[in-house]
A = this chain, B = another copy of it.
């Protein structure tokens, strides 16, 4: 069956790429208000494209912000249902002068399609419409049931999508969620990103006297909020770079031997990292590699600190306040609220005479993980291997894409991040492009993936 699909896609390739170029010509920049008409136009284009592919029940659904495009095809009884997530919005193109060709006038050079959105995410998203078109035109049906949830606010932090997913969780219900908005390890080297870190962000404020004090008249007899804050901030880590907050690591799922082994394939050269950053040594929790530290271990980073006179020169005061902002990156199965509870307990347990400490909880994002031995992950890996001739590497990101976790949690389904981008494709930067070899291999991988998902229920 896969050969018929490949033949069809090959015959239609020029037409399909031309359609992608149409998609890229719409400057659907979600962050900029004047592009509001383009956002509507792009949502409509997406809807029409899905309809043309053969999907049904097309809807452009309001969210309070840019709309979501919904579509489905549900005629494979007994087969799994796959929810495809993607986004039709793009990053702003500035600085324009650094583009070699205009960002919204796509061109192909050396097998690469240049244009804003080519890899993030229009190019990767359209793969799914074309796979559906191929199945329906050649076989009249899809091997699985499919739903689409395509948002227009991914580049502005998916502002309205969590509430949307909650509201329509029955409509969006699926057995697996799949999205292609990430990168491969390198040319010909597929990657399955199976973990993202969560976030707990809060601000600590230390208040001392009721006003700034003259450091000559009060220095040495009144607690200085900066001293107290330094003590507090220094207490968050031990000498081995480990977070010293009681209970911080309680829920951390340790890496399996299999994962540790898999990480060896993606571990960057730490000497190169060190020299790229111009530091004399890397520094982190002992007993873990750079890649492990930045993806599979939780961290507590002080992102800013402030206190006293911020102008030029030394104003010799004891400030009445000092504060710091902290971002904890969390890994499964840590819970942001529990982590902030633990920090609050840690603070209360410290002796801080003469000052008052308050904690203001500001950001919460759950960590995300899909276990690599989950059957859908195995199916995805096999699809990659059949297509690229290489088993994918397993990667995690130290960053956070909260919507991935929301989809998985609210819909209670494993999420597969099936990336076809390549490192260096300049997403969010000038001269964004997409290697078209991964257009072809992308459609093939997705087709094989769906066939394998269908086979799981035979």
Contact = CB atoms under 8 A, between A and B. Distances in A.
Interface of A: 197, 199, 201-203, 208-210, 213-224, 226-227, 229-231, 233-234, 236-237, 241, 273, 277-285, 290, 293-294, 297-299, 301-310, 313-319, 322, 324-327, 329, 353-356, 362-363, 397-400
23 contacts: A201-B316, A209-B278, A210-B277, A213-B277, A215-B303, A216-B399, A217-B398, A220-B294, A220-B329, A221-B273, A221-B294, A224-B302, A226-B303, A227-B233, A227-B236, A227-B302, A280-B353, A282-B354, A283-B353, A305-B305, A305-B306, A305-B308, A309-B325
A278 B210 contact: yes
A405 to B, nearest CB: 14
B279 A223 contact: yes
Contacts of A273: 221
B293 A221 contact: yes
Given A209-B279, A278-B210, A284-B221, A316 B327 contact: yes
B279 A355 contact: yes
A308 B325 contact: yes
A237 B233 contact: no
A386 B440 CA distance: 105
Contact of A284 (B220, B309, B317): B220
A63 to B, nearest CB: 23
Nearest to A289: B221
B233 A230 contact: yes
A222 B362 contact: no
**Number of copies of this chain in the oligomer?**
2
A329 to B, nearest CB: 5
B303 A306 contact: no
A305 B315 CA distance: 12
Contacts of A309: 303-304, 325
Contacts of A316: 199, 201, 301, 303, 327
The 4 closest A-B pairs by CB, nearest first: A304-B308, A216-B399, A220-B299, A230-B233
A354 B219 contact: no
Contact of A221 (B209, B217, B290): B290
A307 B307 contact: no
A381 to B, nearest CB: 24
Contacts of A278: 209-210
B306 A319 contact: no
Contacts of A282: 221-223, 354
Given A316-B201, A318-B301, A319-B304, A294 B217 contact: yes
A279 B226 contact: no
A91 to B, nearest CB: 16
B329 A215 contact: yes
A291 to B, nearest CB: 8
A278 to B, nearest CB: 4
A305 B321 CA distance: 11
Nearest to A307: B305
Contact of A281 (B294, B306, B354): B354
A400 to B, nearest CB: 6
A320 to B, nearest CB: 9
A438 to B, nearest CB: 23
Contacts of A315: 303-304
B219 A329 contact: yes
A298 B216 CA distance: 10
B314 A201 contact: yes
Given A222-B284, A230-B234, A305 B322 contact: yes
Contact of A230 (B219, B299, B302, B400): B302
A209 B277 contact: yes
Contacts of A210: 277-278
A244 to B, nearest CB: 12
Contacts of A280: 353-354, 356
A314 to B, nearest CB: 4
Nearest to A203: B314
Contacts of A354: 279-283
B294 A317 contact: no
A304 B310 contact: yes
A220 B324 CA distance: 18
B398 A293 contact: no
